[in-house]
Structure 1
Amino acid sequence: MVTSPLRADAARNRDLLLATARAVLAAEGPTLQLNDIARRAGVGVGTAYRHFPTRRALVEALADDAFTALLGEAREANRHDDAWTGVAMLLRALLLRQLADPALTEILSTGPDQDATERTTGHRDEFTTLARGVLERARAADLLRPGLADDDLQHLVCGVVFALRIGDSLEERVDRYLQVLLRGIRAG
């Protein structure tokens, strides 16, 4: 699908809506409502809905940069010579990106049936392929706990992200929690 570039005023409105939504998400959590975002951004509700037909489309737009960066990190993990280092790189990137971007967490915690855009579904498919490659290399080297499915690992990472968001001293706990996760999924 070819889209024409936005007019300057439309691009400004879109950027303003995204900045406002990002600020609301950071301050108040994932309760974004398009009508409220439009009001806070000082634009009409119709303008908000023209750019983002649903709340989900707004959340996907907010998460796009983080998802793109995560894909780059997943590619690096997939190319790493050492299978276990690739797993550690992948999980670290996944944890840090979700901690930094609650919109990405929301996207990754739901299935493709909820995606509002083909771009998000494409990102999701690419990430799944890259992650599967990393994990299959680790399985082939007998490095992952037997019986650990890809979905199990996704749920474990989501749980660690949730646990890390509880309490203070996040920076101090990230590496410790990651090491616990890695020890728990490693074979032997």
Structure 2
Amino acid sequence: MSPTTNAESLRADSARVRARMLAAARDRMAAGGLDLSMNAVAKAAGVGVGTVYRHFPTRQALLESLAAQSLETLVATAVAAAREPDVGTGLAALLRAGLRIQLSDPALAEVLAAVDAVCAETLDLSRDLAAAIATLLDRARTEGAIRPDLTADDLRRLLCGLQHAVRIGATDDDADRYLDILLAGLRP
């Protein structure tokens, strides 16, 4: 076997192990295990805890890796919302999608609630998200569609809080009602 082939197979094996750890972590979160113990993830994935830490140095890094695809979807939604001709429709679409995505991916909810990101990809996506939301909010302020003091960070926190309110026992009808209440409260 050539050195290149050996290195390629090691990289492929490492990618498979990483995918197995992410699947184990995702399964734990889906089952309500939001603590994401690295030992439990290692055991469920059939690897040593050192392997988990080698791929994910912290719990936050693991959460961000789990949430990466959902965060990409949220960024794309925010960009589309910022381009929506009717700013009110764009804002409502962003909030509805943001809530739906968080409810389907508890890792994203935790990543959005965190103060700081640790992964470069998450930092980049977070900047893209903030820029799209800032564009949307600037347009909304200019058109008088929202309170002038609303910031992108306010919107992030409110959306995280809304997700939490729905998770603690609201129905789908309640989720829609909560969104309507939030949207009404954002108006000047």
Output the TM-score relative to the length of structure 1: 0.89
Post-superposition Cα deviations, 1:99-137, rounded to whole Å, max 9, x if no partner, equal: 11111111111123xx22111000111100000101110
Give the match's secondary structure for 1:68: helix
Q: What is the count of residue pairs matched by the alignment?
A: 181
Instruction: Give 1:124-139 correspondences, 5 Å limit.
Output: 124-139=126-141
CA distance in 2, matches of 1:80, 1:135: 12
* Match runs of 1:73-84 below 5 Å: 73-84=77-88
Aligned to 1:19: 23
Q: How does 1:88-107 map to 2 (within 5 A)?
A: 88-107=92-111
| TM-score, normalization by structure 2 | 0.89
Aligned counterparts of 1:110 and 1:40: Cα–Cα separation in 2: 26
Which of 32, 37, 43 aligns to 2:41? It is: 37
What SS does structure 2 have at the residue aligned with 1:142? coil
State the identity as a percent.
46
Which residue of 117, 121, 124 maps to 1:122? 124
Structure 1: unaligned runs, 5 residues or longer:
none
Q: Give the unaligned 5+ runs of structure 2.
A: 1-6
Greater Rg over alpha carbons, structure: 2
AA of the residue aligned to 1:35: N
* Structure 1 residue 168 displacement after superposition: 4.9
User: Over aligned residue pairs, what C-alpha RMSD do you find?
Assistant: 1.7
Superposition deviation, residue 78 in structure 1: 1.0
3-state secondary structure, aligned to 2:177: helix
Report the equivalent of 2:179: 178
2-structure distance, mates of 1:49, 1:38: 9
Shift of 1:38: 0.4
Supply the distance in 1 between the matched residues of 2:153 and 2:124 (Cα, whole angstroms). Answer: 19
Letter paired with 1:116: V
